[in-house]
Amino acid sequence: MTNLTPQVIDRARGVLVGMAVGDALGAPVEFNPPEQIAGLHEELFAFPGGGGWEPGEFTDDTQMSILLAQHLANGQFDDNKLATSWAEWAIHTSTKDVEIQTSQVLSEVARGQHWSVAVSGLPAAAAGNGSLMRVAPVALFQLAHSFDITDLARAQSRITHPNA
């Protein structure tokens, strides 16, 4: 493990905060065409809310990324522990708009099924971008640990996405 300078740690925190802020700004306008979005964020750091989202509320993508970051902060990756953590979060939260495939897998894991069995029940063509939105903690983990970043990004993705 590499010793990280205070500046690097501060920047890593900034990555996670920036991810949450961007998610909160984008959540109310997700799936809207650009012309409908234009002008909604005229004031810097204005969080208008809308689309079922409270001002400043971020989505399941950020919540799952935070859980991934907390998991990796222990210094290792364990897909089974991470899947269990996500499943426990999913059943104890009122999160809106979780991807259908992610919700299905985590519901099965919460009922005791292994994540690999749960994800194998999804269509091979099931696609979503949720796992891509969770990669920031993977990149940050690499700052202190030597590993193949692609392998870890794929490993966390496989828990909820069969085509990873």
pLDDT digits (tens, 9 = 90+) for 97-144: 788 888 899 999 999 999 999 999 888 777 677 788 899 999 998 888
> Which CA distances in Å does 113 have to 105, 110, 121, 122?
9, 7, 11, 14
**Residue-averaged pLDDT of the chain:** 86
pTM for the whole structure? 0.86
91 pLDDT higher than 60: yes
- Can you give the pLDDT at residue 1? 47
* Residue partners of 96: CB distance under 8 A and separation at least 6: 52, 53, 59, 60
The residue behind tokens 């205070």 is 6
154 pLDDT higher than 90: yes
- Can you give the pLDDT at residue 43? 59
Q: Which domains does the chain have, with CATH numbers?
A: 6-158 (1.10.4080.10)
120: part of which helix (H) or strand (E)? helix 115-120
| Six-digit token string for 73 | 């902060």
